[in-house]
Amino acid sequence: MKLSKILAVGGVIALAAVMYAMLARVYPFNWSIVLRYKKLFWEGFIVTLKVSGVSVVISFMLGLIFAIFRVSKVDFFKDIAGLYVWFFRNTPLLVIILLTYYGVGTITNMNRFWAAALALSMFEGAYMTEIIRAGIEAVNPGEIEAAKSLGMSEFQIFSTVIFPQAMKISLPPLIGQMVSLIKDSSLASVIALQELTMMGRQVGTRTLASFESYITVAFLYILITSVISVGGRIIERRLSLS
């Protein structure tokens, strides 16, 4: 590890320690409550992983489909994709979750989990659309022309030339968007989905140990997003060497 990173980590730890010491003077921390309610935290942690995992898969598929529409030569497809991106990028996620659960969910009898997953997928999919579109457009046109000169079909060109390179280019921002999705999943607590934030709120309400509860929730979110970020960097390095 570089000296600058060691100093940065040390500085953050020192600052956190000072803040904790200042809070401890006026707030009686009781960390035994976290152990007492560890089952609730664990259940919320698992639900967050599930709803985030489902949403990542669906949002990526939506992003890929609408990105292809965005670069299509057919105006109808381009317009549909443009409207999708415009609507979901300009509407707050909280509003989308509420509309999905109390609107679509009421009509279709959709449960909280799938309402949250659908809302997250549609919202994050709009951002992934633009990320993947940018990756597709960044592929060297000369390679596409070379593939056409070899007599390759449109599907072959996309699957063997455009798609692999677009994914390589788009990977860093896609990883960032996945991290954002995991953090955004906390808004599902507004429809009483028993995910991590909701469980933390319940523990805080029951025990009045708000700091302990929300610090634990924050730590668990940091754990999930850090694993995703580190995994993304490893994949990036391997792709850069290939």
pLDDT of residue 1: 56
Closest C-alpha among 71, 33, 16, 9 to residue 200: 33
Global confidence as pTM: 0.89
> CATH classification of 33-241, choosing from 1.10.760.10, 3.90.1150.10, 1.10.3720.10, 3.30.300.160?
1.10.3720.10
pLDDT of residue 12: 86
pLDDT of residue 25: 87
Q: Which two tokens stand for residue 195?
A: 């995910």
Domains in the chain: boundaries: 1-30, 33-241
pLDDT of residue 242: 61
- The tens place of each residue's pLDDT in the chain, 242 residues long, gives 577 778 888 888 899 889 888 888 888 888 999 999 999 999 999 999 999 999 999 999 999 999 999 998 899 999 999 999 999 999 999 999 999 999 988 889 899 999 999 999 999 999 999 999 999 999 888 888 888 888 888 888 888 888 889 999 999 999 999 999 999 999 999 998 999 999 999 999 999 888 899 999 999 999 999 999 999 888 888 877 66
Task: List CB contacts of 102: < 8 A, sequence separation 6 or more.
Answer: 191
CB atoms within 10 A of CB 161: 18
